[in-house]
Amino acid sequence: MTDSRQKGAAFERQIVNYIKDHLGESLPELPKRNLSQYQVKGEADILIPGYSIECKAYASGATYKEAWWRQCCEASGDRFPVLIYKFNNRPIRCVIQLMAVCRSFSYDPQLVTEMSLPTWVQVVRESYGVDKKN
């Protein structure tokens, strides 16, 4: 396994564990990495009810690349796409459609918002109708 693939797999595990720790009580099944993503093109890294998650970890950069968001949307199927990314020595960031935050927005993959990982967890928790805060 290449160093970049190891870094990506470690980041996916980190995100799965974060989701388990912060949303586990509200999920019908615990999240896990989608290992078939390495054999089948166009599959998400992590799936949870209602959300398809693509993870990206890179050494340097300032913000996500449009190609990452396109890949995320293409792999999402009927779930909300979520791009979770991190650059070295920078906080983890999440990109989601505005419709996932506020249902009054129409479906448009280009209408997105960026937020912290804890904020995204709160958005998911609220979409599941769970008030508990960790």
Radius of gyration of the chain (CA): 14
pTM higher than 0.85, yes or no?
yes
pLDDT single digits (tens) 70-125:
999 999 999 999 999 999 999 999 999 999 998 888 888 899 999 999 999 999 99
Sorted by sequence, the CB contacts under 8 Å of residue 15 that are 6+ apart come out as: 45, 46, 53, 55, 84, 92, 117
With 90 as the cut, is the pLDDT of residue 51 above it? yes
On whether the CB atoms of residues 132 and 26 are closer than 8 A, the answer is: yes
Nearest to 71 by CA among 79, 81, 80: 81
pLDDT single digits (tens) 2-50:
677 788 889 999 999 999 999 988 787 767 656 555 445 678 899 999 9
CATH topology for 3-127? Trna Endonuclease; Chain: A, domain 1 (3.40.1350)
On whether the CB atoms of residues 12 and 32 are closer than 8 A, the answer is: no
Alpha-carbon distance of 19 to 47, in angstroms, equals: 11
Alpha-carbon distance of 40 to 63, in angstroms, equals: 27
Spell out the domain ranges in the chain. 3-127
What pLDDT does 39 receive? 46
